[in-house]
Structure 1
Amino acid sequence: MSKSLLRRTAVIAAAALATVAMTATSASAAHRPDPTTDVRLIAFNDLHGNLEPPSGSSGRVTLSNGTTVDAGGAAYLATHVKQLQSQARNSLVLSSGDNIGASPVISALFHDEPTIDFLNQIGVKASVVGNHEFDEGYKELQRMQFGGCHPTDGCQFQKSFSGANFPFLGSNVYFTNGLPALLPFSIQFSGGVPIGIIGATLKDLPSVVTPEAIKGLKFGDEVEAINRTSNILNFLGIKSQVVLMHQGDNTEVEGPDDCKLRPGPAAVIAAKVTPNVDAIFTGHSHQQYNCVINDPAGQPRPVIQGASFGRLLSVVDLKIDRKTRDVVRSATVAHNEIVTRDVTPDPAAQKLVDEAKTKAGPIANKKVGTITADLNAAGVASGESALGDVITDAQLEGTQANGAQIAITNPGGIRADLTYKSSANGEGDGVVTYGEAFTVQPFANIMQTITLTAANLKNVLEQQFSASGTKILQISKALHYSYSAAAAIGSKVSNITFNGTPVDPAATFRVSVNNFLAAGGDGFAEFTKGTNLAGGPVDLDALLAYLGAHPGVAPPPADRITLLP
């Protein structure tokens, strides 16, 4: 942070703190206030513009006993927020990022303006940026913050767009010249005390977005940025501090308030972040967990995440000492609240959703194909998924003009299931609408066909397994292989065949991938070695064309990827 910016921040904070001090002094003349004050923090993460209740597994929360509860939907989320607020004298609503981007059609058609309007409506006070806030680039993120009509499409949802009423935070987001690109923190007053909200996104953000989207930006270490920002807040006298971090861990299948983390970055970061921070809200991994991880001084603090798509609200209740203005850590209570659908939908939120749905309806409700059963995005034990099979087959068919022989796609690009049962729109069982297909493939990634050697292909498949985790690519029908979970990293893949024949080490293949993977996204750097690049259709268009040409698509057999001991 520049010295001038630091000075301006200090002046503003000092003025605000003086106001609070005067208020407290006036109050003490009448009666002695309680020595502590309670503040409830209500956060969510990875909403991704899911204004309507999500369908399929994306709209359910798994409990500790394995049963599920239908959850999510903006109107229900708004009701639950109000209920949680009514139970506490003081509260703040926060977000851990990915509010927008990869959104269903009723938000995405309007460049996610309806979602920002909804977040304003429920009173969000601060949000960290996630990787998807950068999907359309830094300038579009600035438009989301400050408002204005889209430079190409104008204002299509409302006559004007005022932007977010809350700041987008990113303490580790910089321009390439080192200057901060976003505000590092926000100071919120609740219960008569100031609370510092620090935002930090994942330092590996460049690996999960296209290079063009973050041109001119760089992303620093999360711990360093959080600790530096915490020191600034501490210098300003802000002793109660929480972090909104768009980084998370994976977990075993557990309930919303269980904690069985697999090794991952969030827990490592949480253990290193300065003891000044009293709670850490996480995101990005779309997992549900409620953990307690000791800070470097050995003191416990909550580290929590609320799944995704508005299905959970992460609630942290703080007790703050009025004299020291610091959190009484031993009194902190955290839980994940399920956004059930058995409550009355909030009228204002429902009105907004209905308006977006009506305006998007002529496009979203158009029939584009049919299926015979659910096509699920989640994979079987090997990681292969029915929907992944269909999508790659569609991408292969859509790039035949490029001589494509194989298509490969990343699992993170498949955002929802295609469900057989009719939606509430009444299109009928088995009917796939444009809106449903869009929800599955919302990124508008461009298909690109490249030439890979057999060695390149083997390396791509090996790159699915790394020390940071496993990401199983989805592959088209001619390619088959096996992998051993117990084998060493770099030597897990075997028995690679093409059209039933073992791959010749001297062979080359024309392989179709989206532009995100072609640029080495998700850590698949081997794709960048491809040659003879030829452009193709948008991934969604390839899927739409396939559904239109093949009525009654059935789930393919899960036999392309074989898991060995």
Structure 2
Amino acid sequence: MAARPNLSRRSVLAGAGGLASAFAIGAPAFASDAARGGATGDSLAVQLLNITDFHGNLRTPTSAADGWIPNPDGPGTINVGGAAHLAAHLKRLRAPRNSILFGVGDLWCGAEPLDTKLLRDESAIEVLNRLGLGFSTLGNHELDYGLDYLLDHMVHARPVGEPGRDSSFPDSTGRRFRGLAFPYYSANMLSRKTGKPVLRPYNIEWVKGPNGRRYPIGFIHLTVTNTPVGSSSYEPRLIGYDQIEIANRYAARLKKRGVNALVISVHDGAQQHDNWNAPINGGDMSTGPALELAARIDPDICAIITGHWHWWFNAMLPDPNGAPRPVVEASHAGQMINEINLFLDPATGKVKRDLTVSTNHPVTLDIEPDAEMLRVVNYWTAYGERRYAEPAGRLTGDFTRTLNEHGESTMGDLAADFVHWDANSYDAGRADFGLFAVRPAQGSTALRGDFIYSKGRDAADKDGLILYGEAYAYLGYENPVLTVTLTGEQLRQALEQQWQPQRDGTVKFAPLAVSSNVRATYDASQPVGRRVDPASFLIDGTPLDPARPYRVAGLAYTLIGADGFGALARFTDPVRNDRDHEGFIRYLRAMGAISPSPRDRITVRS
């Protein structure tokens, strides 16, 4: 990647309504020539600032996907992001009056940096609170720990497990975790039991005009519809409702209440053509659900602010009546801030749509980072390093991903035992046995490393010790352990899918590990699809009964079929147990010391 050049700046005056000068790279998007001209008359200026998909990236990311964007001022790419620079840019951008800062979801959790993950994302919450967010749309990843964790811990700051050990860590001021300082909203995440939203569907913010008059702006919040059945956010108690129908419903409701300025904040997105090289303020749109949303939702909605797709765009797209309105996304990982400048008619409170201006501002590193935020980031970084080195468990021998000739490994057996144990530690989750994809037919594996008996490189490590950071890094990928019902025949079909014919005529072997109460013999000399005899798959010594229902434990990613075992996705009656990382820590504590299996659970003939 190209080194960051000396960047020129363009001061963009958002209008005559007293807005602060915004330092931006690249051209804003204008709703019309009138907006481009900047003459706003007696309009009331309102500034909307938003970030999306921060994912707990406290430090400036260094990976190509998270830390670098196309250089808007020349060739190559530039490094961007980090909470301290984000805070500094926000201070420069914020207008002195009528400025509203909010999030569009996935602000924490979701493949966040390991040190953030080790502290249950509480570090991200302190940073977000200090940024001064007023509210946020619910993203899919805010449900990665489950609905109860979001409501009880993140919102109400009730400890989970033992305070200071499992959650409720001291923040940078020395005080125990105090929870979110701003609310979350979602109109289309409904309770399966009641059919009502589990969070408030919209909020109304008030801005001040001449002579102290206050004007309402309504924000309707939407979450990606498949969130309740996504692998990491799987939540059986929720239903995702159609975004367009529910957006129009609440728009009508707000208009009846006299709210004449309406905004959609949706955690779902779109992308430009040639995404990686597309300009950050470009609007050459390609695909994505946000484009259908823009074409079909109420034309009185003045702006659509999106997230989830991790892309950047700044488009003016026609509403159903043909009038342009901003449809925008500000990337992810703290790379950008989107600013939309609205101008309200002081007589009616309606948005003068032709005056709207929108800009994506990159969070460049060429200004001084905010000193207080830098102190907070350094505090949590050091805390995460200490947390990594804490002991999580003990082992008596090596656990590796190395497969024997039958497709069995000690890491795979450990993982299958863990999901079985985790499910059975909850009454509602009780399972007959556990399954774990050790080498998936497709997608990624949740086994990321080996637990080795001998001391590693970390100064805190010792022979036979599993460090906290190792436990998180080597097993799991932010997935809940589910317990589901499958018939014996469905299980047989899934087990047959361990052998998958390839286009080149070969057969790919994608073994499934099983918990210690299972013994299985497969016959690979038989044709694909006829290698599993139910009589040779023994659960607690009893053959698999094709007609009987079984309760099976596994990671959500595997059970929804994402690993390539489509027969598993026909399950019913799902129950969510622990998330993999936190559940595995509980398992290690409960076991005292773990010992490698003899790898004798599976036999493959021929």
Letter in 2 for 1:148: A
SS at match of 2:287: coil
C-alpha separation in 2, matches of 1:410 and 1:285: 22
C-alpha separation in 2, matches of 1:288 and 1:503: 49
Pairing 1:407–2:439 present: yes
The residue aligned with 2:344 is: 320
C-alpha separation in 2, matches of 1:81 and 1:226: 29
Q: 1:96 to 1:362 in 2, by over 3 A?
A: same
Pairing 1:203–2:225 present: yes
Pairing 1:182–2:199 present: yes
The residue aligned with 1:515 is: 555
Q: 1:406–1:479: 8 Å Cα contact kept in structure 2?
A: no
The residue aligned with 1:343 is: 367
Choose between structure 1 and 2: higher helix proportion. Answer: 1
The residue aligned with 1:226 is: 247
Q: Return 5+ residue gaps in structure 1 as ranges.
A: 1-32, 369-388, 417-424, 428-432, 461-477, 484-493, 546-565
Letter in 2 for 1:443: E
Structure 1 window deviating more from structure 2 (395-404 vs 309-318): it is 395-404
The residue aligned with 1:527 is: 568
Deviations 1:127-164 (A, max 9, x none): 11011111122222113553323231322134433322
Paired positions, count: 447
Q: How far apart are 1:528 and its partner, in Å?
A: 2.6
The residue aligned with 2:452 is: none
Q: 1:61 to 1:163 in 2, by over 3 A?
A: same
Letter in 2 for 1:328: K
TM-score between both structures, scaled by the size of structure 1: 0.67
Which of the two has higher C-alpha Rg?
2
Q: 1:454–1:503: 8 Å Cα contact kept in structure 2?
A: no
The residue aligned with 1:126 is: 135
Query: Which one of the candidate residues 453, 478, 488 is aligned to 1:443?
Result: 478
Query: Which one of the candidate residues 265, 271, 295 is aligned to 2:289?
Result: 265
Question: RMSD of aligned C-alpha atoms?
Answer: 4.6
Q: How far apart are 1:413 and its partner, in Å?
A: 8.3
The residue aligned with 2:146 is: 137
Query: For 1:39-78, what aligned pairs fall within 5 Å after superposition?
Result: 39-63=46-70, 67-78=76-87
SS at match of 2:106: coil
The residue aligned with 1:108 is: 117
The residue aligned with 1:98 is: 106
Letter in 2 for 1:294: P
Q: 1:326 to 1:405 in 2, by over 3 A?
A: closer
Q: 2:295–2:319: 8 Å Cα contact kept in structure 1?
A: yes
Q: How far apart are 1:94 and its partner, in Å?
A: 1.1
C-alpha separation in 1, matches of 2:437 and 2:143: 32
Letter in 2 for 1:46: D
Q: How far apart are 1:34 and its partner, in Å?
A: 5.9
Letter in 1 for 2:155: F
Q: How far apart are 1:47 and its partner, in Å?
A: 0.9
Deviations 1:298-351 (A, max 9, x none): 111111112211111122121221112111111111121111122211122112
Query: For 1:532-551, what aligned pairs fall within 5 Å after superposition?
Result: none
C-alpha separation in 2, matches of 1:522 and 1:206: 15
Q: How far apart are 1:457 and its partner, in Å?
A: 8.8
Query: For 1:303-314, what aligned pairs fall within 5 Å after superposition?
Result: 303-314=327-338
The residue aligned with 2:3 is: none
The residue aligned with 1:383 is: none
Structure 1 window deviating more from structure 2 (197-206 vs 137-146): it is 137-146
C-alpha separation in 2, matches of 1:459 and 1:255: 44
C-alpha separation in 1, matches of 2:129 and 2:436: 46
Pairing 1:152–2:161 present: yes
C-alpha separation in 2, matches of 1:496 and 1:328: 62
Q: 1:255 to 1:526 in 2, by over 3 A?
A: farther
Q: 1:144–1:164: 8 Å Cα contact kept in structure 2?
A: no
Q: Percent identity?
A: 25
Q: 1:426 to 1:325 in 2, by over 3 A?
A: farther
The residue aligned with 2:30 is: none
Query: Which one of the candidate residues 149, 156, 161 is aligned to 2:177?
Result: 161
Q: Return 5+ residue gaps in structure 2 as ranges.
A: 1-39, 210-214, 393-401, 417-434, 449-457, 461-466, 511-523, 538-551, 589-606
C-alpha separation in 1, matches of 2:126 and 2:471: 24
SS at match of 2:222: strand
C-alpha separation in 1, matches of 2:315 and 2:459: 41
